């Protein structure tokens, strides 16, 4: 072959008009035929889906839908509780105390701030103390009545217990519970006002002057001295009741001091 036929590398490349028919034909890329392939290179491969797998999928979808509905229900319940706390300061949950016969809702661990729970438990002990004093007072006066003390003192002691237990809960313990959970100054003020009356009541009950409590309807020191001279067993119960009222008075004074310091900011 002649070397003159070899292309000159230094020659300028021939310009090609991209709009010409020849250039379009020359520059067209030949199409590649698509070949369907199955699994293993076979054209007629099929996939068998077991019916059990489809049933399991539907079952899981139903479970997920049930879980989603349960989550929505719980979210609505939580929102309802949050709204109730924002309005009233106390969640409208079911009654849970006392455990053997629930009549009130009481949940210090979940509704009272951690730094105030100890004070709330002390106040709760004070409320349980006045309940114990009033119930024991009924028992002591009943013994005195059986031994000839008169039925009037029995009815008076029963009235004191029936009124004292719910009123003490509604008038000073529940306001304190709400004040601790919402930091409400109004509820604190209500508590302090009624709790001072509670302490005064405990002091008078520990003394039991016959003018106020119609003789022996309360187990105070004066009534205990009077009863033990004629009825020894009843007198012993009266002295025990006097001790309970004294302990309740001291505990109430301590609770009042602690809560007052808490209210003033010494937490």
265 vs 38, residue with greater confidence: 265
Encode pLDDT of 165-223 as tens digits: 999 999 999 999 999 999 899 999 999 999 999 999 999 999 999 876 667 899 999 99
Give dist(CA 37, CA 39) in Å, integer. 7
Contact call for residues 58 and 65 (beta carbons, < 8 A): no
Rounded Cα gap, residues 234 and 139, in angstroms? 10
DSSP secondary structure letters along 207-261: H--HHHHTTTSS--HHHHHHHHTT-HHHHHHHHHHHHHHHHHHHHHHHHHHHHHH
Kindly tell me if the per-residue pLDDT of 67 is higher than 70.
Answer: yes
What confidence tier does 73 reach under pLDDT thresholds 50, 70, 90?
confident
Residues 37-48, mean pLDDT to the nearest whole number: 50
Please tell me the predicted confidence (pLDDT) of residue 255.
97
pLDDT surpasses 50 at 74: yes
User: Tens of pLDDT along 87-106?
Assistant: 555 555 588 899 898 999 99
- What percent of the residues of the chain are helix, what percent strand, and what percent coil, each to the nearest 5? 70, 0, 30
Lowest-confidence pick of 72-86, 186-200, 248-262: 72-86
């Amino acid at each position: 072959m002649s070397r003159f036929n070899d292309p000159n590398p230094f020659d300028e490349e021939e310009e090609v008009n991209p709009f010409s028919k020849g250039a379009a034909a020359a520059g067209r890329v030949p199409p590649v035929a698509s070949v369907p392939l199955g699994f293993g290179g076979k054209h007629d491969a099929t996939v068998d889906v077991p019916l059990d797998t489809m049933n399991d999928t539907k079952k899981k979808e139903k479970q997920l839908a049930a879980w989603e509905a349960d989550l929505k229900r719980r979210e609505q319940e939580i929102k309802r509780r949050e709204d109730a706390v924002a309005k009233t300061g106390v969640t409208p949950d079911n009654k849970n105390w006392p455990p053997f016969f629930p009549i009130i809702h009481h949940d210090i661990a979940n509704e009272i701030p951690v730094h105030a729970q100890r004070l709330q438990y002390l106040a709760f002990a004070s409320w349980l103390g006045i309940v114990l004093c009033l119930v024991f007072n009924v028992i002591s006066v009943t013994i005195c009545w059986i031994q000839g003390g008169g039925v009037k003192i029995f009815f008076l002691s029963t009235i004191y217990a029936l009124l004292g237990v719910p009123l003490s809960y509604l008038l000073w313990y529940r306001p304190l519970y709400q004040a601790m959970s919402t930091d409400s100054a109004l509820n604190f003020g209500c508590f302090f006002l009624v709790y001072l009356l509670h302490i005064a009541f405990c002091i008078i009950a520990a003394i039991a002057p016959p003018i106020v409590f119609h003789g022996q309807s309360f187990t105070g020191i004066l009534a205990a001295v009077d009863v033990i001279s004629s009825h020894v067993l009843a007198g012993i119960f009266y002295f025990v009741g006097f001790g309970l009222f004294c302990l309740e008075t001291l505990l109430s004074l301590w609770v009042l001091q602690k809560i007052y310091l808490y209210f003033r900011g010494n937490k």
